[in-house]
A and B are shown apart, each in its own frame.
Chain A
Amino acid sequence: MLLRGSHVFAEAAVRAGCRFYFGYPITPQNELTEYMANALASLPDGVFIQAESELAAINMVIGVSMAGKRAMTSSSSPGISLKQEGISFLSAMELPAVIINTMRGGPGLGNIAAAQGDYLQATRGGGHGDYRTIVLAPGSGQEMADFTRMAFEYADRYRIPVIILGDGMMSQMMEPVEFPDPIDPKSLPPKPWVLDGAKDRPSRIIKSLILDTSAMEEHNWKLFRKYEMIEKEISQVELFLTDDARLVVIAYGTASRITKGAIKRVREMGLKVGLMSPKTLWPFPKRFLLEMSRVVTDFLVFEMSTGQMLEDVKLSLEGRRRIHFYGRPGGIISTPDEIAKVINNIYFKEGLETEG
């Protein structure tokens, strides 16, 4: 199917068995909300509510998730800030949910162009308290479809909110996509912790208030152990022409697409350059990077921000290798030529053409 990015997210969510969507209008992701309005209206078990606010939308997700059903909300940067209260509560109460952030320029209202300025917000929890959320970063229409399916599965498996980071460019871009077969929500395994009335079982409580400090500490460590397990199990990268690379560019989402174009150009000139594209931003695929740093001396982080993922690359490599950075914030989309020039400069400045 040939679909624009926003519609890919929405169609993939419906096919993942999501029958509950709550949203509030914000550009550049209104097409996602509108698609859900249509798709869920045509399903007998579909529920779509245009919420009065982002806060209301994420709290409706909390309610549905307590009832054990798959639920999603989506927004763009300023709206995601408003949802952080609910994301913190979802994390505390260990409730599954999928939240799509179509990032735009910021801070503040910023603009409606594609940007990657919400990386730190997404990967560091984003709201108050000691928690993380899984953060997925698709780089193509196909990955938008696949990662949306995966997001619902991770959310249920780990009882955690999952954020998908897209941007204003990916949401508008049309690409051919093959969708996985639809899941009938009734076929999903029952969840043993849901609230549906205490029939033939003891009553249940889903809460986040833990006044006893020892119990709260234990809850924090329990979450931490879960996060450790997730780090081991789901870190994922895409590698592109890295086998013989002397310089590896690290970029995600739209920036990784631009980088592929740049690499094709510099490869034509004989430069040995590859791309490592993190597909999970949290957990950050540290071990893939460490492994690569055994043979690669130079890394270039390219982001559509002033340098946010850069922090994770530095933390992962702990000073072992040279890390270069190029970023354009504010909704500026670099061209492959621009990135090819940056690569070219670094490559020759560091003498990489003479190594090996």
Chain B
Amino acid sequence: MKKVFGKPKSLKDAVFHYCPGCGHSIIHRLVAEIIDELNIEEKVIGVPPAGCAVLAYDYFDIDIGESPHGRGAAVATGLKRALPDRIVFTYQGDGDIAAIGTAETIHAANRGENITVIFVNNGVYGMTGGQMAPTTIIGQISTTTPGGRNEKRDGAPIDLSEMLALTDGTVYIERTAVDTPKNIIRTKKAIKKAFRVQMAGLGFSLVEVLSPCPTNLKLSPVQANEWIGSTMTNYFPLKVIKDKVGKLGASPHLE
């Protein structure tokens, strides 16, 4: 019998600790599948954040260097500059990348560091128990916005991907989601393209993935996915935010 579906090689035999319905497990799997398909498991180095995904090193069977909270882009800069022929990616949450690590991220992007960033946006601080994130939407209840996020008091949700698109060094930025099978397939395509941009040496690539956090949204997994499509995407529309790949010329990696 022909085997048509299995565990990616780049994932260890470990049980995910993520909550039921959490998007990290799906995104981890997609990244592992892509690493296998691109045949880069021997030259890829991952940089997980502080946050739920810090334990990524328990799941990915690749070299992993953990970053201090928010500093992923700076750590990845060091790794990639030291080893320019390796593939370096960061995996960061919304608090990590869009609050405490904003400066590191924007400047790495502006320098056009040839790294790939996977930005998982679930609109809440997951690991610390559901506090307001920089991407929490207006009116959303969190443990630190008990009456809902108030624009006057808390500021509006920040669209880091659009901000990054303004810097010259960014080549490819897309926002996707993992709320439906169709969107999961799109997410995989986007992340694969982001890795290929790096393999072609074109510069900074980022995929922002809207991802459900049922535990902290206090919703069922199905409701959390529906919330992404019905509400979160009003603030964070799914789209290609920037794509300079065409302008930079064809490359064997991008065929």
Interface residues of chain A, those whose CB is within 8 Å of chain B, are 20, 22, 47, 49, 51-53, 55-57, 59-69, 71, 85-86, 89, 93, 195-200, 203-209
Contacts and interface: CB of A to CB of B under 8 A. Distances in A.
For the complex of A and B, list the 8 residue pairs with the smallest distance between their C-beta atoms, beginning with the closest: A63-B78, A59-B74, A67-B82, A207-B66, A52-B107, A199-B42, A197-B43, A59-B71
B81 A64 contact: yes
Interface stretch (B57-65, B135-143, B148-156, B208-216): B57-65
Given A56-B74, A71-B78, A209 B66 contact: yes
Nearest to B60: A203
Contacts of A49: 77, 81, 111
B176 interface: no
A5 to B, nearest CB: 27
B79 A195 contact: yes
Interface of B: 41-45, 47, 50, 54-55, 57, 60-68, 71, 74-83, 86, 103-104, 106-107, 111
Interface of B is mostly: mixed
A168 to B, nearest CB: 27
Contacts, number: 131
Nearest to A63: B78
A66 B75 contact: yes
Contact of B57 (A57, A61, A89, A207): A207
Contacts of A86: 68, 71
Contacts of B80: 63
B162 to A, nearest CB: 20
A197 B62 CA distance: 7
Contact of B78 (A67, A197, A209): A67
Contacts of A203: 60-64
A208 B50 CA distance: 11
7 contacts: A55-B104, A59-B68, A62-B71, A198-B62, A203-B62, A205-B63, A205-B65
B43 to A, nearest CB: 4
A85 B68 CA distance: 8
A198 B68 contact: no
A90 to B, nearest CB: 10
A236 B63 CA distance: 38
A65 B68 contact: no
Contacts of B50: 209
Given A205-B57, A207-B57, A64 B43 contact: no
Given A59-B67, A67-B82, A69-B82, 20 more contacts: A49-B77, A49-B81, A52-B103, A52-B107, A55-B104, A59-B78, A59-B104, A62-B65, A63-B78, A89-B68, A197-B42, A197-B62, A197-B83, A198-B62, A198-B63, A199-B42, A200-B42, A205-B57, A206-B66, A207-B66
A324 to B, nearest CB: 43
Contacts of A195: 45, 63-65, 79
Contacts of A71: 78, 82
A40 to B, nearest CB: 11
B62 A62 contact: no
A85 B70 CA distance: 12
